Structure 1
Amino acid sequence: MSKSIKGHVASRGSTPAPVKPYVYESTATFMVNDLLVPYETYFKSPLAKLGAIKQGLQAGALTDLLRVTGATQVDIAKWLDITEPTLRKHIQGSRELNQGLSEHIIQLFELFDKGLDTFGSLDEFKSWLKHYNPGIDAIPFDLLDTLTGISIVLTQLIRIDYGVLA
């Protein structure tokens, strides 16, 4: 069977398995979901979030953040208000991140999780982030350097979910 034909075919026997024409999740979406899984408990429980912030996230959270957001190290350093060399030092380090960085990273993960939920595609959400939004009178991407800015963007995503765009 041609690679261009979508669907699944049984490897043995003559009866093909049913075709699933409406399943369009890409492997990139699955990878992002896998990267977000360890952080999802923080989105659902404020106490779990607080505990993780106080304990400090592992340095690997920065690598996960780079992968989930697709942002450059320059962007991530700007969002977290640290220099690029400091970001690289944290990425290569094995110590827990401080509370401020941990909180900001968790909020960014929560935002990207919500964006994926709202838009159904990480690429569509990233595109939306980079365009001017009249509802918040800003480009959402430019607000990710503060917790208040992230909160504003999250609120806008909730408004989109409910169809309240003005």
Structure 2
Amino acid sequence: MSEYMKHLKGYSVQENALMIVEDPSGTYVVGNGYFDFIQLSRSGIIKRALINLGKQISFSLAELSQVLHVSERTLQRYSDDAKLSADTSERAILLSQLYQRGTEVFGHLADFKEWMRTPLPAFNYQTPISLLDTTFGFQLIQDELGRIEHGIFA
């Protein structure tokens, strides 16, 4: 287990894995980070960790279900300690990583959340959040964050 997953006190490993850390030094890929996330995806994250992530990034259950490709009703039926499927867990981790990266680039989670809900020319005047239903959308947003970080605006 990476140091990142160990360093946050008061939360289980599952919940730590999906936390958005506003401290730029709290990056999400430390040591065996990717291997930790592969293992976490395979074993499944618990619903409580997903719900906590949703609260942090101001996503409704309907928005989470759209990104995760799971019906809202299915998510409601899971108990808080139930493990989600590998595919659902992987998408939740990607969402968490995206918001972590956005927080690093923008400096504050609130600024990134606002940007994600703003129609932008770089995304054909769609909101970035509307692109999260595909992995291509995730990549497009990650690429734009890289351009912003390097001062290259579309």
Shorter-chain TM band: 0.7 to 0.9
Matched length: 132
Give the corresponding residue for 2:7.
Answer: none
Distance change >3 Å, CA 62–CA 156, structure 1 → 2: same
2:63 and 2:44 map into 1 onto residues whose CA distance is 21
Aligned to 1:94, which of 56, 59, 81? Answer: 81
Give the gaps of 5 or more residues in structure 1.
Answer: 1-33
Give the corresponding residue for 2:17.
Answer: 39
Give the gaps of 5 or more residues in structure 2.
Answer: 1-10, 19-25
Give the corresponding residue for 1:165.
Answer: 153
1:56 and 1:139 map into 2 onto residues whose CA distance is 29
When structure 1 is superposed on structure 2, of 102-111 and 150-159 the one drifting more is 150-159
1:42 Cα deviation from its structure 2 partner: 9.5
Sequence identity percentage:
25
Give the corresponding residue for 1:81.
Answer: 69
1:63 and 1:47 map into 2 onto residues whose CA distance is 23
Give the corresponding residue for 2:3.
Answer: none
Deviations 1:84-113 (A, max 9, x none): 1111123x2422111100000000000111
Deviations 1:44-72 (A, max 9, x none): 13222211111111222211221121111
Runs of 4+ in 1 over 3 A off after TM superposition: 34-37, 40-43
2:76 and 2:146 map into 1 onto residues whose CA distance is 33
Deviations 1:108-147 (A, max 9, x none): 0001111111112222111111112222323201011222
Aligned to 1:115, which of 77, 95, 102? Answer: 102
User: Does 2:150 match 1:150?
Assistant: no
User: Does 2:42 match 1:64?
Assistant: no
Aligned to 2:115, which of 118, 122, 128? Answer: 128
Query: Under a length normalisation based on structure 1, what TM-score does the superposition of the two structures give?
Result: 0.70
**Matched-pair contact (CA < 8 Å) for 2:118–2:128:** yes
Q: Using CA pairs below 8 Å that are at least 6 residues apart, which structure has the higher relative contact order?
A: 2
**Matched-pair contact (CA < 8 Å) for 1:42–1:49:** no
